[in-house]
Amino acid sequence: MHICMVMKMSIEELIREMVMVPGVSGFEEPFRRYLLERLREYNAKTDNLGNVIVTLGDGKKHIAFVAHMDEIGLITTHIEDNGFIRFMPVGGVDNRMLYGRVVEIYTDNGIIYGVIGLSPPHLTSEEERKKMYEWKELAIDIGANSKDEAIRMGVKPMQPARWKKDFVVMGKHIVTRGLDDRVGCAILYESLKRLHRKNFKNKITFIWTLQEETGLRGASALASKYRFDEVYVIDTITSATMPNVDYHLSPAKLGDGPVLRVADRRGVASQYLREKVFKIAKNNGIPVQEAVSGGSTDASTMFEHGMNSIPICIPVKYTHSPVEMIHLADVKNLIDLIEKIAES
């Protein structure tokens, strides 16, 4: 029996478990299987693409809460004659986070570990050490001495890969890779657990989408099929409280509450829902913030299909890096806020 079925977990333990399950964008199947097992008692279903859906109640107003299950990563593309593995990024991968990393390649034989290394300072010039290498100049070293040896180990082109993850609890903070958006997945799960035994006037649907990081593709498929009165996308937003970043670019602080992502590169969120959420939060003593940011979320796709939508986000430092950081108070406040929105 899966560990998730035999023990009650704290929210930080749940986030850790979800973070560690692989699910590179386009290759979400391991996380989808994990999620469906956790959701077994809630009659979860999947659509044709693989989005996971749970619906509660049958009220006239239909409210959706959405989080994406996929994560950024890599895909193997070619094996060199000397055994090195070439790769391509999947999603918003920064070249700076590739160097000196341990990589997990997901093969039919299980996980094969490799490293992405750079020439050491002993063998490079000062000019070479200043160069920013692009992903296409790098390779994964799995310890194979030839292409045939790499193939015998189970590696081949078109396999997903990701960085080996650490998970650190720093007081009230969590630091790890993949909080975008496994923290949203955990929040949706905890909210579902809290709400499923309650009687409320609305129809509530919880959705875990795929391929958000590669073009909001799961949400786009949903938006073309379903009609929701209100859509709340539970995602992350970059906090600019870090060195060498202008705070006004993304003015959100860890620990000060969930963030209404008012605008990003795909447009402005629903002003009707913005006002509604602020009123609910104020009436229930739940701290919330507002901010703008780059990037986009599944909310923009819903909005483009004529549905009122707004992202409610967990502020994160060092987004899309191996050391994403969140504050647990924001997580707990967002779960409380979802409960009140569902009952509104």
Q: What is the 3-state secondary structure (H, E, C) of the chain?
A: CCHHHCCCCCHHHHHHHHHHCCCECCCCHHHHHHHHHHCHHHCCEECCCCCEEEEECCCCCEEEEEEECCECEEEEEEECCCCCEEEEEECCCCHHHCCCEEEEEEECCEEEEEEECCCCHHHCCHHHHCCCCCHHHCCEECCCCCHHHHHHCCCCCCCEEEECCCEEEECCEEEECCHHHHHHHHHHHHHHHHHCCCCCCCEEEEEEECCCCCCCHHHHHHHCCCCCCEEEEEEEEECCCCCCCCHHHCCCCCCCCCEEEEEECCEECCHHHHHHHHHHHHHCCCCCEEEECCCCCHHHHHHHCCCEEEEEEEEEECCCCCCEEEEHHHHHHHHHHHHHHHCC
Residue written as token pair 């609890």:
169
Q: What domains appear along the chain, each with residue ranges and CATH number?
A: 3-71+178-342 (3.40.630.10), 73-163 (2.40.30.40)
Q: Is residue 135 pLDDT above 90, yes or no?
A: yes
Q: Is residue 210 pLDDT above 90, yes or no?
A: yes
Q: Write out pLDDT tens, residues 75-113.
A: 999 999 999 999 999 999 999 889 889 999 999 999 999
Q: Is residue 5 pLDDT above 80, yes or no?
A: no
290 noted as active-site residue = no
| Given the residues 17, 28, 71, 212, the one annotated as active site | 212
- 144: Cα separation from own chain's centroid: 32
Q: Is residue 58 pLDDT above 90, yes or no?
A: no
pLDDT score for 2: 44
pLDDT score for 307: 94
Q: Is residue 124 pLDDT above 90, yes or no?
A: no
Written as six digits, the tokens of 226 are: 């379903």
pLDDT score for 281: 98
Task: Give the pLDDT mean for 159-188.
Answer: 96
Written as six digits, the tokens of 34 are: 């994990």
Specify the pTM.
Answer: 0.93
Q: Output the CA angle 187-110-119, nearest 5 degrees.
A: 90
Single-letter amino acid, residue 257: G
pLDDT score for 282: 97
**b/e sequence 201-228, b meaning 16+ C-beta within 10 Å:** ebbbbbbbbbbbbbebbbbbbbbeebeb
Q: Write out pLDDT tens, residues 270-303.
A: 999 999 999 999 999 999 999 998 889 999 999 9
pLDDT score for 1: 36
pLDDT score for 7: 58
Task: Give the pLDDT mean for 165-185.
Answer: 96
- 326: Cα separation from own chain's centroid: 13
Single-letter amino acid, residue 281: A
